[in-house]
Amino acid sequence: MSGITNAIIGNFNWLNSVYRKTERTTTDATATVIDTIPIGADSTILILAMITGIESGGANSAGFLYATFWNKDGTSAPVLVGSFPTSLANEKDDSAWGSEPTFVANSTDAIDIKVTGKAATTINWKCLTIIINMSI
């Protein structure tokens, strides 16, 4: 067992393994950034995002649970590992609400998580994100 522990400690540097909580409000069907996750050079990150939304009057709500995995080689832009984020739960009361959350590399050093609301409707969103970030 000590050989495995020593190999992990000797070869990898764990960075920013954190929980983040963010909140946003949408008033229309425009995609809105609810969180921006930084990623450094030569890093791999696993993002687990739990997102809830509720209309201001409480009539409708939604809940989403996503896992997504990104790699960044040197100073290049982050690349999604696999073909798409994995949806573990995707539930909403009102089908007129926008699409499910999206995960997009916004530059060479960050991933945006976006939510989309409903036209002429105020929706309050919360996002709890668990990030495991490892670099060599």
On whether residue 2 sits in a domain, the answer given is: no
Residue 126 lies in a domain: yes
Model confidence pLDDT, tens digit, residues 65-116: 999 999 999 989 999 998 778 888 889 998 888 889 999 999 889 999 999 9
For residue 10, tell me if it sits in a domain: no
Model pTM score? 0.84
Domain span at residue 60 reads 15-135
Say if residue 8's pLDDT is above 70: no
DSSP 99: P
For residue 31, being part of any structural domain is answered with: yes
Sign of CA dihedral 105, 69, 31, 122: negative
What does the alpha-carbon distance between residue 97 and residue 117 come to, in Å, rounded to a whole number? 5
**Residues 55, 59: Cα–Cα separation, whole Å:** 6
More confident residue, 5 or 68: 68
Cα 91 to the center of its chain, rounded Å: 17
Number of compact structural domains in the chain: 1
Q: For residue 98, is it left (φ>0), alpha (ψ between -120 and 50) or beta?
A: beta
Residue 111 included in any domain = yes
Q: Does a structural domain hold residue 99?
A: yes
pLDDT in tens, 15-45: 556 888 999 999 999 999 999 999 989 999 9
- What is the pLDDT, as a whole number, of residue 10? 42
How far is the C-alpha of 111 from the C-alpha of 49, rounded, in Å? 12
| CATH number (domain holding residue 76) | 2.60.40
Q: DSSP letter at 29? A: S
- Residue 136 carries which side chain, given as an amino acid letter? I
Ranking 4-8, 26-30, 43-47, 118-122 by mean pLDDT, the lowest is 4-8
In a domain, 8, yes or no: no
Interstrand relation of 102-105 and 110-116 (parallel, antiparallel or unpaired): antiparallel
Residue 129 maps to a domain:
yes
Residue 99 is predicted with a pLDDT of: 84
